[in-house]
Amino acid sequence: MTDRLKNKTALVTGGARGIGRAICKLFAEQGAYVIVTDIIDDEGKDLVEEIRQNNGKAEYQHLDTGDEKNVAEVITPADSIAVLVNNAGITGPDKPTHEIDAEEWDNLMRVNVKGVFLCTKYALPHMIKNKSGSIINLSSIYGLVGAPDLPAYHASKGAVRLMSKTDALLYAKQGIRVNSVHPGYIWTPLVEDLAKASEEGVDAFRENLDSKHPVGHVGKPEDIAYGALYLASDEAVFVTGSELVIDGGYTAQ
Ligand code: NAP
- Whether residue 208 lies inside any domain: the answer is no
- Whether residue 193 lies inside any domain: the answer is no
- Whether residue 69 lies inside any domain: the answer is yes
Domain holding 126: CATH number? Answer: 3.40.50.720
Q: Is the CB of 64 under 6 A from ligand 1?
A: yes
Looking at every residue in the chain, the average pLDDT score rounds to 97
Q: What is the rounded distance in angstroms from the CA atom of residue 124 to the CA atom of residue 192? A: 34
* Residues facing 138 on adjacent strands: 181
* Residues facing 137 on adjacent strands: 86, 180
Mean pLDDT over 173-189 rounds to 98
Domain count along the chain? 1
- Whether residue 125 lies inside any domain: the answer is yes
**Do residues 183 and 138 make contact, with C-beta atoms less than 8 angstroms apart?**
yes
**Do residues 192 and 228 make contact, with C-beta atoms less than 8 angstroms apart?**
no
pLDDT above 70 (res 1): no
Tell me which residue has its CA closest to atom 23 in ligand 1: 190
Mean pLDDT over 39-50 rounds to 98
Whole-number Å distance, alpha carbon 108 to ligand 1 midpoint, is 11
| Residue 132 backbone phi and psi in degrees, to 5 | -165, 155
- Whether residue 4 lies inside any domain: the answer is no
Where in the sequence is the domain holding 28, given as residue range(s)?
9-187+220-252
- Whether residue 45 lies inside any domain: the answer is yes
pTM tops 0.85: yes
pLDDT in tens, 119-169: 999 999 999 999 999 999 999 999 999 999 999 999 999 999 999 999 999
Q: What is the rounded distance in angstroms from the CA atom of residue 137 to the CA atom of residue 99? A: 29
- Whether residue 68 lies inside any domain: the answer is yes
60 is catalytic: no
Mean pLDDT over 79-103 rounds to 96
- Whether residue 202 lies inside any domain: the answer is no
* Residues facing 176 on adjacent strands: 133
Residue among 11, 39, 60 whose CB has most ligand 1 atoms within 8 A, to mutate: 39
pLDDT in tens, 76-88: 977 789 999 999 9
Residue 66: partners with Cβ closer than 8 Å, 6 or more residues away: 110, 111, 114, 115, 118
Whole-number Å distance, alpha carbon 190 to ligand 1 midpoint, is 6
Look at residue 2 in the predicted model and tell me its pLDDT: 81
